Structure 1
């Protein structure tokens, strides 16, 4: 076992040991898919490289906003952002589920968001406060449900995020596509930037669960938008990239997901 593998397994063993101490029953053997989510959450929480990528994204966002401010149009400027893993950090929830070999669950997720306990993503508060100070209106387009409104606003307001109110928080209603909500904003504003961690946060071409190959093709097609109008934040834990790998089959067992992961991973020969 090489040094990198040793560190990985030590971290996982430590997390599992901590969890066993807190609970009367030891956790089940962690599957590959959840094993990976523990490691991803650990990276998100501890790696300076993760923070650097977030700062890089928001530094670039500020440069692009400054450029847009030099060319005002007939409509006021707006910046549109996703919330989860773009403004707020949910890695404690992901880690807790994964270390117990449990996957995402709507009921426990809503218990988590109701606590309004998320920390912020590095660079997010500074950038959005800067945008507001320059006259840009911030809109939050999220696929959290309506019954998560109170907790979501409380969490945003905890960090004095600008425009953290009912009028600027656009929750999911109906399907998960964000296109109709973007179009509503465009009626009165010029959207100069979109920030997100999941590609459907940016363009309707990613809607309707495209295949992994289609997502790659669309990304190549939109290449010039990334770093220009589309600002992407890192999220190694979840997203449509994961869904497309599993063909959006939410009934797969962890064992079935493990098999797909191993079949689609390139290993050294």
Structure 2
């Protein structure tokens, strides 16, 4: 709508007053832009340096070993299929924290191009306890299947990495990467058709069942609580505070949010103490 001469005059006076006020009271400078990479620091340094992280990893694999022994010593009950375990790769048996540290150092967010270059290096080392456990499983005649959401195009490099660290069954027969869908259900079922799957290991709820895939963080936690008895028995979880589907749930499933919106969503999910009582 065109402005009348009167409204233009008023606008001029308002702007003039505003500029005068700004000269007397300079606007507070904007803070630095949000860096999601900086928010990775605590999680990554904990994974790389804390004894607690190593302890939790060893604890997970020790528990897996006990459950494996228990299952193998139980009566066969007509079970004819060869026993197997299904493990995820990233942050379950291979440590990618140097990539996370690189993101921090470069102030970068995850990107498929930089991730692919990291994978091509084939330099990830085993998670604490992973090598000993997988070797033990193989010594008991248990086959290891690597069900991962690394892409088909990353198969050669990943197998090279698995072989370099000496993991058993590091071959194309036992390696099931992502093709179209990130849902691992069909791949797990493929293993179960020919093998008795004793247990599953992963750092993400989707490594165990698509039933945990929910849109919100509270719904994911409720789904876990509904199957509490499965964890520590058939499902063995490795710690990973750096990334995962839990983060997507915080964003309401929308990865397209800006860094500022993601940072705000993270803070909005904090349960905050009300502080000391005031009188």
Shorter-chain TM band? 0.7 to 0.9
Identify which of 52, 58, 61 aligns with 2:61. Answer: 58
Cα distance in 2 for residues equivalent to 1:77 and 1:182: 14
* Cα shift at 1:112: 0.2
Alignment of 1:30-109 (within 5 A): 31=34, 33-71=36-74, 72=76, 73-109=79-115
Output one character per residue of 1:96-119: Cα deviation in whole Å (capped at 9) or x when no partner. Answer: 112332111000000000000111
SS class of match (1:171): strand
Identify which of 97, 118, 125 aligns with 2:124. Answer: 118
Cα distance in 2 for residues equivalent to 1:156 and 1:38: 27
Alignment of 1:165-244 (within 5 A): 165-207=171-213, 209-244=214-249
Cα distance in 1 for residues equivalent to 2:140 and 2:130: 16
CA contact (8 A) 2:203 2:239 kept: yes
Q: For the structure 1 residues 110 and 29, does the alpha-carbon distance in structure 2 shift closer, same or farther, using more than 3 Å as the test?
A: farther
Query: Are positions 1:131 and 2:137 aligned together?
Result: yes
CA contact (8 A) 2:215 2:253 kept: no
TM superposition score normalised by structure 2: 0.83
Structure 2, unaligned runs of 5 or more: 1-30
CA contact (8 A) 1:29 1:101 kept: no
Q: Provide the residue aligned with 1:145 in structure 2.
A: 151
Output one character per residue of 1:127-157: Cα deviation in whole Å (capped at 9) or x when no partner. Answer: 0110010000000000000110111001100
TM superposition score normalised by structure 1: 0.86
CA contact (8 A) 1:118 1:155 kept: yes
Report the aligned-residue RMSD: 1.5
Q: Provide the residue aligned with 1:14 in structure 2.
A: none
* Cα shift at 1:174: 1.0
CA contact (8 A) 1:38 1:99 kept: no
Structure 1, unaligned runs of 5 or more: 1-27
Structure with max Cα Rg: 2
* Cα shift at 1:33: 3.3
SS class of match (1:191): strand
How many pairs are equivalent? 241
